[in-house]
Amino acid sequence: MTLHRRRFLCISAAAFATGPALAAAPLTRIHGQAMGTGVQILLAHPDAAAIGQRALAEISRLEAIFSLHRDSALVRLNRDGRLVAPPPEFLDCLSIAGRLHRVTGGLFDPTVQPLWQLHAARHAAGGPPSAAEIAEMRARVGWQRVQFDTGLVQLAPGMALTLNGIAQGHIADRVAALLSAEGLTDVLVDTGELVAPAGQPGGGTWPVTLADGQGRFALRGAALASSSVLGTSFDAGGAFGHILDPRTGQPAPARWRLLSVTGPTATIADAASTACCLMDRPDIDRTLAALPGFRLAALVPYPATL
């Protein structure tokens, strides 16, 4: 199984040169890691290194809430079935996840984690799970059985959550908010999903290149998130993608090679791009129409032979 999520967006090298005026300080890239992918923050400030370190510390703190590979709040919830005094960021993410669950007709469902673990284990052993195994795990899926408030998050027995379809965007939003609170809005935060609270220092938009030569996007005052059915796969051959349909328990069919959503927040753009991979074009349009300010930035189908 591919362990790291494929990147669909990259910042063009032109980002260092565009804009009608030069910034007061050179543009600096701050590099880090979060949620299984590289992170970078672009900013121009005399104290860029120190500011970048504070931003990376915030990313590490948030990963300790959302990661499935650390002793995080999410891991403890999945292990114990309950999480007392959940962090406010965790509750915020769950609330947004619930909204996306409703808007997508249940297709965005973080409770697919037991199915995800089943597929990962079976493919690691050489093949897909059986219909009976999938049926057993589907009985553990259902967002309506997740209960949460400021004091407690509670899961039904056997349930588990994954926030991988929303947490990268949520972390990007949180870091952008942290920098904005310090007066830095001419920045670009890249956690695999992008947030540009404003344009480049000195003026101009941030140029973003979509994967596989699918075009460029000028980003300013918005977020951008992308997904692909086969962007990460359970099998070495890349035939069984990581986005699972909660209605069937099976990987999504190979319909969309690249699906990018832009809008006011990376949290919602991230979740919407994930869920829309399970939809046909009319349903994608209806879903995004229910999310004010959000729209498709790219929609690239796989060849019909797949």
Q: Annotation-wise, does 274 bind a ligand?
A: yes
**H-helix or E-strand spanning residue 52:** helix 48-66
CB 213 within 8 A of CB 229: no
Q: 267: annotated binding-site residue?
A: no
Burial code (b: 16+ CB inside 10 Å, e: under 16) for 99-118 equals ebbebbebbbbbbbbbbbeb
**Count of other CB atoms within 10 angstroms of residue 199:** 19
DSSP assignment of 243-300, as one string?
-B-TTTSSBPPS-EEEEEEEES-HHHHHHHHHHHTTS-HHHHHHHHHTSTT-EEEEEE
Which two structure tokens, joined as six digits, stand for 80? 């114990």
270 marked among binding-site residues: yes
Task: Report how far residue 15's alpha carbon sits from residue 201's, in angstroms, rounded to the nearest whole number.
Answer: 10
Residue 302 CA to residue 205 CA, distance in Å, equals: 30
Angle formed at CA 139 by CA 257 and CA 165, multiple of 5 degrees: 35
Taking each helix axis from N to C end, the angle separating 88-103 and 167-181, rounded to the nearest 10 degrees, works out to: 130
Binding residues for Mg(2+): 165, 270, 274
Binding residue ranges? 165, 270, 274
